[in-house]
Structures are given as structure tokens and as C-alpha cells.
Structure 1
Amino acid sequence: MLPGPVQEAEELLGLAFRDRELLRTALTHGSLHDEAGTGTDYERLEFLGDAVLELITREFLLRRFPEEQEGSLTRRKIGIVKKGSLAVHGARMGLDRLVLVGRSFRSTASSRRSLAADVLEALIGAVYLDSGLETAREFVTREILERSPVPDPGPDPRSRLQEYCQGLGLELPAYRTVTMEGPDHRPSFTVMVTIGGREAGKGTGPTRKAAVEQAAARALENIERTV
């Protein structure tokens, strides 16, 4: 017989897993794995689920906004896939209650929110491995994309990144051209943005301006996915 949380999660998701151990793994926090000394936790599935979610969300936005440029699409994507947004969906689904944790896990409001986001990504990875991309797409669309207000793209990434740094009293972003490749009629620029001397993101584009915008967007994505 399946343990309660695993069976409840299967009913909650409306999916019948062929390999129920995938679902169990997606619900297993590292603290339980450390205590039991056997099995695996959800981190590897979370790693995969993050990529699957990115792919499905990008495809969704490309179809939804056929006229928008990469920068605007990236800003919309960030609002959907950042940890704070995923935590809201995971909590709505009750995933924070279903996680199998060990005695060493310290349960706080913050840790539960983080759990909900992490487990949601792990579940996406588990669904993908168990049933393929189409089923994963249906799950992500139903549980995340159709329930998420599509974020307004707002100001351009370079302006947003500068405002972010100013708001926190950080050094302003610095942009450096890393490479310029390709023939003269079709160049490709790669630009790195640093904040306080540390790399924050890289971007590539047919002009330096486009590469700068993408680098700023990548930096914002790296920052906002942790929020």
C-alpha cells in the first residue's frame, strides 16, 4: 500500500503514475533521505523539472505573444517561473503538507514556501519522466500557466536592473563585450554584465545593444528566481 502522502499526491495531481517511486522521490526532502540512509531526495527531479517548466513556459509565451521580442518575453517568463510564484501554486496545491521530511527539518513559514516551490518543480520532472512532455505540458498549463496572471513586461531589462541596484545601494551594473564573432554583415555580440565586480549574467545578440538587453534580462532572471 502506498504511504498516505504519496497516494494523496497522486489523487491531488489527477495523474496515475506508472512508476510511483518517481512520485515518492519527488516528495522526499533531503532531511529524510539523510536519516533513512537509503533512497533519493527530490533535488535531481527538481533540476529536471526546472528545465521542463522553462521550456513549456517559453513555448506558451511564444504562442501567446507572437509579436513580442525576446526581452519582453523573458520578463514575462521571469514573473511566472520565479520561486515566489511557484511557492504560491505549490501551497495552493497543498504540496508543502505532502513533503516527506526528516526530524531535523526546521519547519517555518519561509521553509514551507521554499518546499512548495521546490517540490512543484520536482513533480514536473517526475511527470515528464513518467509520462512524457505532452502530459507534463498539460500539467504545467493546468496548474500554473492557466492560473497565473501573465506579467506585464514593464520597463526594458537594462533600466530595471539599474533601478534594482539603485534601490539596494549596490554598484551600478557594468557591461563588457566578451566576444564579437561572425562576418561583418551578420555579427554576433556576447556581453557580460557585472554587479560589484561579480558576473550577473551574459547575453548574445546581433547588435551590442541587443546583447546588453539580454545580459540584463539574464541577470534579472537569476536574481528574481530566488525571490
Structure 2
Amino acid sequence: MDSTRTNKLLELLQTIGLQELNSSKLLSLVDEALIHVSAGRSKNFERLEFLGDAVLRLAATEFIDQQYPNLPVGRCSSLRAQLVSDRWLAQLGEQLQLESFLVLGPKALGDAAAQATLQADATEALIGAIYSGSGNNLEPIHHWLTPHWQQTTADVLARPHLFNGKTMLQEWSQAEGLGLPNYTTTEQSSRHGDPERFKSRVEVGSRLSANGFGRSRKEAEQNAATEAVQRLQDVGSEINSESPNNTPH
């Protein structure tokens, strides 16, 4: 690794507040975490992304357990889903401007639609690199991610329908005696990472329908449900918007 690359990675560690972890092993892993498979290098971020996925879930679980010890398990799971989501990872990667650190091959460089996916994958790999490079220690992960999780949790509390639309819509439809919402999801394009790759239409009997788009079927359905819940709230329908409201410890 040349000095220019080393200095850039040191700047990245400083940005996330972990400059004191500077070591040759850590820098090597951080470098690996930012090399996409399309670059054709002998090492890339795939294994660190795999590790980072598990580390992220464990660290998020610890955060919720420590901050919200009285939160019911079901709601803990719903909150964790937001704290480890691809959307959340992509947003964090964008804040860090990880695209400026990524080593990409020509194919990935030309795929603008996949940028959010690249950001999410690289962020997850970076988490794996920091965990491994610090001696399998979760403390640096908590130091880095806790402020971001606190902000996300505050957003979830303030606007739960934006994060948990499917659950809220299902609870409303069952309370109204309308059964379960029906989702019809189709693939609109074959481009990986296209934000409108999938289109989903949700219908609740004959009373409500809405559309949503997403990079995955799951995201499209969630966005359709969120739009449906927003329509209900716009017309003044009563819908349970309860969210985790325990005071953090």
C-alpha cells in the first residue's frame, strides 16, 4: 500500500473517531474492506462484509439491550431491523464518502444505480475490518456507531410509520376486520441496485391501495405500506403509531 492510500485511510479512521487504533494490521484490513470484487484483486471485501454483518447485528443488539432494557422483544427486533438495514448502512457510507475510498473495476464504476448497494456493502466490510483489526473487540464498533444509532432511534420514535409501515398497516387492517394486506410485486428492471427495480402494490380490501418502489421486493413492499399508512393519516384515520418510547438508560 503506497503512502497516498495509507494517508487516506488514516483520514477515514480519524473521521470515525478511531485514529488511536492505527496499526499496520488494521490499515491492511481497512484497505481490504474498501476493495470491490470487480477490481480483480487477490483480496476484496467479501469476507469482511460477511464478518461485518454478524458483528453489526450483535453490536446493535447490545445497544438496544443497554439503552432500552424494558422494551418488549418484538419491538427490539423491529428497532434492530432499522439499525442494521441496507438503507441505514448506505446512508452511513454516504456520510463517510466511502465512494472516494473504494477501489472498483470498470463494470462497477459504470453502474450508477448500484451506488447505494456498494456503500452499504463497504460499510459492513469496514465494520468487520475494525472488529478484526482491534482484536475482535466490539468497543470500537460501539464508539463509532452509537451516536448514529441514537439518531436513528430518535427518528424511529418521531416518525414510526416511515420505518415500520408494514406492521402498522397490518395491525390497522386486522383491527378494521379487513384481513391481511395483499402485496403484488413485480420486477421493473434487471439492474442491480436500481432504486425502482421492483414495484409493489398493496391493497387492503377495496378500501385502500398504494404503490411503492425499491431495490428489493422487501423494500418495495415496505415503501408501498408506508405510502398507504401516510394516506390513512392524511385523511385522519386512527392508526396505532406506537413506537419504542422507553427512556434510554
Aligned residue runs from structure 1 range 111-190, under 5 A? 111-131=114-134, 132-142=137-147, 144-150=148-154, 151-152=156-157, 166=181, 168-169=183-184
Taking structure 2 as the reference length, the TM-score comes to: 0.58
CA–CA separation in structure 1 for the residues paired with 2:166 and 2:23: 41
Q: Summarize the Cα distance change of 1:5–1:113 in structure 2 as closer, same or farther, 3 Å threshold.
A: farther
Which residue of 2 is the match for residue 93 of structure 1? 96
CA–CA separation in structure 2 for the residues paired with 1:48 and 1:160: 34
Q: Deviations over 1:61-92 (max 9, x none)?
A: 11221111111011111112110111011001
Which residue of 2 is the match for residue 18 of structure 1? 24
Cα RMSD of the aligned pairs, angstroms, is 3.0
1:47 and 2:47 are equivalent in the alignment: no
- Asked if 2 retains the 8 angstrom alpha-carbon contact of 1:27 and 1:100, the reply is yes
User: Number of matched residues?
Assistant: 169
Q: Summarize the Cα distance change of 1:65–1:135 in structure 2 as closer, same or farther, 3 Å threshold.
A: same
Return 5+ residue gaps in structure 2 as ranges: 174-179, 186-216, 223-249
CA–CA separation in structure 1 for the residues paired with 2:107 and 2:165: 44
Q: Summarize the Cα distance change of 1:66–1:83 in structure 2 as closer, same or farther, 3 Å threshold.
A: same
- Asked if 1 retains the 8 angstrom alpha-carbon contact of 2:32 and 2:44, the reply is yes
CA–CA separation in structure 1 for the residues paired with 2:30 and 2:9: 8
CA–CA separation in structure 1 for the residues paired with 2:36 and 2:69: 40
Q: Percent identity?
A: 29
Q: Summarize the Cα distance change of 1:109–1:3 in structure 2 as closer, same or farther, 3 Å threshold.
A: farther
Which residue of 1 is the match for residue 7 of structure 2? 7
Structure 2 counterpart of 1:121, which letter?
E
Q: Deviations over 1:137-167 (max 9, x none)?
A: 212224x32442442466798666687x835
- Asked if 2 retains the 8 angstrom alpha-carbon contact of 1:72 and 1:156, the reply is no
- Asked if 2 retains the 8 angstrom alpha-carbon contact of 1:18 and 1:130, the reply is no
Return 5+ residue gaps in structure 1 as ranges: 171-221
- Asked if 2 retains the 8 angstrom alpha-carbon contact of 1:27 and 1:119, the reply is yes
Which residue of 2 is the match for residue 29 of structure 1? 36
Where 1:41 maps in the other structure, the secondary structure is coil
CA–CA separation in structure 1 for the residues paired with 2:5 and 2:181: 45
